[in-house]
Amino acid sequence: MNIDAAGLADGAQYTASPNCDDRPPGTAIELLVIHNISLPPGIFEGTAVSDLFLNRLDPAAHPYFATIAGLRVSAHFFIRRDGTLLQFVPCALRAWHAGQSLWCGRERCNDYSVGIELEGTDELMFSDAQYDRLGALARALHRRYPIIASVGHADIAPGRKTDPGPFFDWPRYRAGLQQPKQ
């Protein structure tokens, strides 16, 4: 996998989200933020996550949707349970995924991070296909940008966020950052 100069990943299904803007001038991408999401919570598949990121979530389609329909959020990437990779924002732009956040004394993590959403919840393990795709994506991002660290949303918004949750296997993720043997 490769990331081009605009920040698009080859092999990703790209659909542009309006929920993004320019990064501050001269800001390097130094952080990967890993999230989990499912809509409605605990339900996988369907188009609800994409619909949320594209501002077309129908608040009448599920009672939970009415509580989040006004949100204007996005992520750079979304990895489905089967490993399918969707991209909503080029990495060159700032996606709106972290919200109020702080990392190593620096606020506004959206300014200098890439947001990766995994289809899941805090209560379930992630799939092998997700770890495989996440590893390939993270390696490509590390080759393209001066990434310093990978963190969970909970790490940059403690008390406000819990994802990617206790079932995210950080040692497995870190092992996946290593180039697989051919």
Task: Return d(Cα 21, Cα 24) in angstroms, integer.
Answer: 9
H helices within the chain, ranges in order? 48-53, 63-68, 128-144, 153-156, 170-176
Contact 48, 67 (CB under 8 A): no
Asked if 117 is an active-site residue, the reply is: yes
Task: Return d(Cα 163, Cα 157) in angstroms, integer.
Answer: 10
| From 30, 45, 117, 123, active-site residue | 117
Task: Return d(Cα 90, Cα 70) in angstroms, integer.
Answer: 23
The alpha carbon of 4 is separated from its chain's Cα centroid by a whole number of angstroms, namely 18
Catalytic residues: 117
